[in-house]
Structure 1
Amino acid sequence: MSDTAHMERAGRRRAAVLGSPIAHSLSPVLHRAAYRELGLVDWSYDRFEVDEAALPGFFERLDDTWAGLSLTMPLKRAVIPLLDEISETATSVEAVNTVVFTEDGRRVGDNTDIPGMVAALRERGIEQVDTAAILGAGATASSALAALARICTGEVVAYVRSEARAAEMRQWGERLEVEVSMADWADAAEALNFPLVVATTPAGTTDALARVVPEKPAALFDVLYDPWPTELAARWSMTGGAVISGFDLLVHQAVLQVEQMTGCPSVSSTAMRRALRLNEKG
């Protein structure tokens, strides 16, 4: 950061992650590591247990020392009415995971999960795919679909458990202008043959699929990081397939958050990954 930029941000030294539950969040590990690497000795990053009902009151208590907030469930949509502006990316999935407080006091929301997914895939050499499969149809699946809109040139097949979920994914497909077709979860083994599989389901949901991983799988993006590896990811890796984890997504979306909150461009992920490894050992 330039001396001028540092002076401009000198009074804005606080940031935090909000959500409920929040005790498990690794965001403080990542952001604090980035601050140390950037020499931002006066910056702090904390976590607060905040649910939807408490969110407006939390915002009211913020002063001008705050630079930004990271948001996890269940706040990614609840925060939108409290903001002055949200980015096109966040609007596309109606979900904000990043709030930046500008010098003139405005609250600006963005979604770094989507470009974070794209960055995590590109880091593994996946720049473009002809088709892809998504396992699941929850909130994370909509972000995955938005990420695939940037790299998938053909059809995306979503494997879902209910017609209600299928209807939601069709709506997201139309909104994001992605060609999406639905398949029943009972046929999810078929998804494992796609050039890219994005698993967005809760822990344990894909364990049974580990038994039917093909001999030469392509790429699996499993957005979970706790527990890790999942049974599917472990088997996938053992058979030689490429595996992108929730840790990769966590780091890349955090890099973008730090850049936005601090004004420091080109934040390196190296220190963040090192901090994660040390945290695991600790």
Structure 2
Amino acid sequence: MKAYVSIDIEGLPGIASTTMVSPGYTQYSRGSRIMTMIAKETAKALLNNGFDKVVIADSHGYMTNIDYLELPKNTSLIQGFPRPYSMLTGLDNSYDSVLFIGYHTAAGTMHGFLDHTMSGKVFAEIKLNGRRASEYLINALVAGEKGVPVILVAGDSLLRDEVSKYTPWAVFIGFKQGITRYAAIYESIGDVLDKLREGIAEAINRLRKGEVKPLVLDKPYIVEIMLRDELLGDVLETWDILERIDAYRFRYEANSAHNVLAIIELIAFIGYGVYALKERLR
């Protein structure tokens, strides 16, 4: 069996400050160490429970956070940014399952630790078919189109309800509890790792028993995005795939989750370019 593991950082235990999530910041080495430890233990647990191959996608920021030298045999690591389909690069129907580790709540979630969706700098909120959407939901739909089921999600406990609604067959592990956007509580790393190992064993048991399935929702998908910058909205207004609702909000329709994600990613990159332009206009 082969597992795909997408690992983000904001939903990991021990992460409680923006100084821990970006290279060059004062506590980034601690964040990288935690992310590496979780990645290593996840791979070991999967391999110890019957998987032959584990592919880990480093899925935060510049996507070079995990120390390659720490990973066990029979594990591959996807790193680097930008890359196609971001947190799910290379996922196809050859995988038996996908796991989302260190995932956080959607942009606009009250008390969600560092809540955002795809790009906190560009998007204030993203809705899918009228409901606030997280990276978990969008990525689960993309995986579902490949026929790959989500078997485990671990991260901010405030994500639990969304996981229970859309993929109730997936094991959920609360790594931390958001208190405010910049504060959280979490158990010791030993306790967290015990829960992770137990959760992975249970997820694999459900997979073997045929209790899991790929996520599929009715189409077309109606996506509504709220931007943080009106100038970006002015730039996007000429893109006829998008309907502008007001200064900050746009709507578009997609017939696949891949298109949902691709358009979001393109808007994010355009946004980065607009922000870079604004910095030059001084």
Which TM-score band (shorter chain)? 0.3 to 0.5
Say which structure is richer in helix.
Answer: 1
Q: Which has the higher strand share?
A: 2
TM-score (norm 1): 0.33
> What TM-score, normalized by structure 2, do the two folds share?
0.33
